[in-house]
A and B are shown apart, each in its own frame.
Chain A
Amino acid sequence: MSIISIRGLKKSFDDHEVLKGIDLDIEPGQLICFIGRSGCGKSTLLRTLNGIEVLDEGEIRIAGHSLSRTSKDEAIDARFEKKAQALRQHCGMVFQDFRLFPHMSLLENVVLAQTVVQKLKRDEAVAKTELLLGKVGLLAHKDKMPLQLSGGQAQRGAIARALALSPAVMLYDEPTSALDPELVDEVLAVMKALDQEGMTQLVVTHEMRFARDAADLIVYMEEGSIVEIGAPDLLFSSPKDDRTRQFLRKFL
């Protein structure tokens, strides 16, 4: 049984079609890396999955929640908003630029959604937060304000915040692109650890080394379509499609 199922997903910005009908099924516990040139639609795909970007057509099902539209002209109503909000509670999302809330401490960043969305009691939320911060190695920094953290610490904090609602899947949009090279590994290590625990993770990335080492599946995209899906060893050593080969040549 797949945990994520995407059917006929289309999305355009103005006249430019960014996603040209994506079909994809993802099994639980997998770590999937999405690779491809800038503008190929991989980030849009990720943002559409949790409804931050509204799909034009198609259907998305994640952990029993679904979002669907039959055409671009269909109005986005309060019901759609509500469904998207319900679905987002099961998708943790991590952004390239961390997006911690600068007006609250790291601890409060992680506590917030637990008390506001899940209506947990504050001490329960704090206890869980400390557990999560311990897991990403930031317990000692819990009372710092986001701007007092390094980029690597901030991104690990953002992962802890995304994990706070115990999501079924984690979505990462280029999680290491804004980091200094020496800080990349501490973030990737956290993601690898989560993979060990059986978390389903979708990662849009330019880290080919990480993709090859850690991913269960690689999805190569070009111009709004999926060109090739495969296990890293196979895809990196003998890609079936010429376009994949050309793209990978630059990295290997």
Chain B
Amino acid sequence: MKSLLNLILISSSLSALVPMTSAMCSEPLRWGADTESGAPLIFQDPKEPEKIIGFEKEFMEGIAKHLGRPQVLVHNAWDGLIPGLTRGNYDIIVNGIEITDERKKEINFSKPYFITYQQLTVRKEEDNLISLETARGKRVGTLKNSLTFKLLEEFGGITVVTYDTEPSSYEDLANGRIDAVLLDAPLALYNGGPNPKLKAVGKPISSISYGIGISKKDVKLLGELNSAIDTMAKNGELHRIYDRYGLWNSMMAEHFNDRTKNLEPPVMYEYFSASTNHERTFSQRIELYISFLPILAKGALTTLHVSLVAMVLAVAFGLLLALMRLYGAAPIQWISIFYIELIRGTPLLIQLFFIFYALPHVGIKLSSFVAAVLGLGLNYAAYEAENYRAGMLGVPKAQSEAGLALGMTRTQTIRHIIVPQALRIVIPPITNDFISLLKDSSLVSVITMVELTKLYGQLASTYYDFLGTGVLVAGFYLLLGLPFVRLARYVEAKLDSTHSPSQLRHK
């Protein structure tokens, strides 16, 4: 019996060792990319927004397989990918990063894994704008900080309009705010292609190669990556991925010396363009919106959660500020006045940016939730403080005299006589402020909180549906606010009828 038990113990401890050792010799390959960089590179699955897909995702799965290592995608904003690499946040970067001499000064690049060109897109009825030359004097949109932006600037004579995201540039083109969009062909295909109002025109412009970015120190890994790319090019793996996304082109055929015909149908492109179909039938639309409901409901809960916690903070801290301002010694009053004026005199958006992006520079790193709650709460505290102050000044002086006459101290009088009566005066304005806070909470989408407004941006640009999704999101905000509007009215009516301190006449 005993030996059997030992055997079990040994074998179980052995089996526990096995995955550990294998994990040690194949540490996951961490690759940095912006999960919001958009189709077809890396993007949210239109059917399951939680899932990340894209040709670069499939490419990296292939690379990792050939290296015999698991892979992990580390999200980082596109603009900060190279600094993140040099800081060691991840091992490599793969996210449509063009191989340029300028970038080579900072990091090394693998062999190109993708070669493309720049594609001009215009509105369907446009006949004259067919090249960069004919675009002179016109407004052309592109992504900010992109190579294309530099190319357009250097070409001259073109008014360049820059965008944060590809969908918004093509949406503006369709709406007639700009005359053309110039972007990498894959982006043009996925963002402009499905839109029936737009068409691609002209010859391929210049040549762009995407490479894996890697730290200059990591020479060994660079060699492994290059041979993995070679293997994937030779055995047709790359070709197949690009076929599925509809991206294989003659430039790559030449570079990889692969003259085979299409190996696979463009299923991913069809999947994507079907989901961004611009001409949905009514029932398709309804179906789409119904599929949004659980996602938006989750966002609404986040909005409500942030707003409620922020309001609790605002109400508590606001009371403290008001007491400091009304009853504190002179320096304490000044602190309170300074705070209130500073907060009320600067935009909430700036305050949120400051808390989320500036504080980490002095060592205070907050999660987006904490930053959102602090930003909204500390901001609204200033307004609540003024509400309280008005409320406390609204309690007749006779009341505090009566408290003092009963032998209470000033503090006891404030606590038991003034504050409770002031609270009743300020409940209606505070409830109203909460409704404003609920709406202002949309600003926290800028500090990466995924709440209602952020989801609106994501869903609308994924499905090219700004109108219907917008109405839906507005509906959610209304539903969130409505109970509080009713509550405010109820409380107001109730307080008026029973014991408002301003009504000192007895029956």
Contact A117 B420 (CB under 8 A): no
Name the CB-closest residue of B to A113.
B406
Cβ–Cβ contact B408 & A101, under 8 A: no
Q: Are A149 and B412 in contact (CB under 8 A)?
A: no
Contact partner of B409 (CB less than 8 A), chosen from A85, A101, A161, A164, is A85
The listed residue (B405, B410, B424, B501) touching A81 by CB distance below 8 A is B410
B406 and A147 form a contact (CB under 8 A): no
Contact A50:B499 (CB < 8 A) given known A101-B417, A103-B420, A148-B507: no
B407 adjacent to A88 (CB under 8 Å): yes
Contact A99 B401 (CB under 8 A): yes
* B161 contact set on A, CB distance < 8 A: none
Q: Which residues of A contact B18 (CB under 8 A)?
A: none
Give the nearest-CB partner of B403 in chain A. Answer: A101
Smallest CB separation, A165 vs chain B (Å): 6
**Distance between A116 CB and nearest chain B CB, rounded to angstroms:** 5
User: Nearest chain-B residue to A167 (Cβ)?
Assistant: B407
| Known contacts A89-B407, A112-B416: A101-B402 contact under CB 8 Å | yes
Count A-side interface residues using an 8 Å CB cutoff: 34
Q: Which residues of B sit under 8 angstroms from A91, Cβ to Cβ? A: 405
Q: Inside 8 A of A112's CB, which chain B residues have their CB? A: 406, 416
Is A95 interfacial (CB-CB < 8 Å)? yes
Contact B405 A154 (CB under 8 A): no
B346 at the interface (CB under 8 A from A): no
User: Once the chains bind, are B412 and A102 in contact (CB under 8 Å)?
Assistant: no
A151 in contact with B402 (CB, 8 Å): no
Known: A102-B421, A154-B506. A116 touches B398 (CB 8 A): no
> Once bound together, how far apart are the Cα atoms of A104 and B417, in whole Å?
9
- Write out the residue numbers on chain B whose beta carbons fall within 8 Å of the beta carbon of A227: none
Flag whether B448 is at the interface (Cβ < 8 A).
Answer: no
Determine the distance from Cα of A85 to Cα of B503 in the docked complex, in whole angstroms.
29
Q: Which residue of A lies closest to B507 (CB)?
A: A150
A117's contact among B399, B408, B417, B505, by CB below 8 Å, is which? B408
Residues 394 to 435 of chain B near chain A (Cβ within 8 Å): 398-399, 401-410, 412, 416-417, 420-421, 424
Residues of B in contact with A (beta carbons under 8 Å apart): 398-399, 401-410, 412, 416-417, 420-421, 424, 498-501, 503-507
Enumerate chain A interface residues (CB-CB to B < 8 A): 50, 52, 81, 85-86, 88-89, 91, 93, 95, 97-104, 112-113, 116-117, 145-151, 154, 161-162, 164-165
17 A-B residue pairs with CB within 8 Å: A52-B404, A88-B405, A95-B402, A97-B398, A98-B506, A99-B398, A99-B399, A100-B402, A101-B403, A103-B420, A112-B416, A113-B406, A149-B506, A149-B507, A150-B507, A162-B406, A164-B406
The 6 closest A-B pairs by CB, nearest first: A89-B407, A99-B402, A113-B406, A93-B405, A88-B407, A117-B407
Q: A85-B409, A102-B501, A117-B406 are in contact. List 20 more A-B contacts (CB 8 A).
A: A52-B401, A52-B405, A85-B404, A88-B405, A88-B406, A88-B407, A95-B398, A95-B401, A95-B405, A99-B398, A99-B399, A102-B499, A102-B503, A103-B420, A113-B407, A117-B407, A147-B505, A149-B507, A162-B405, A165-B407
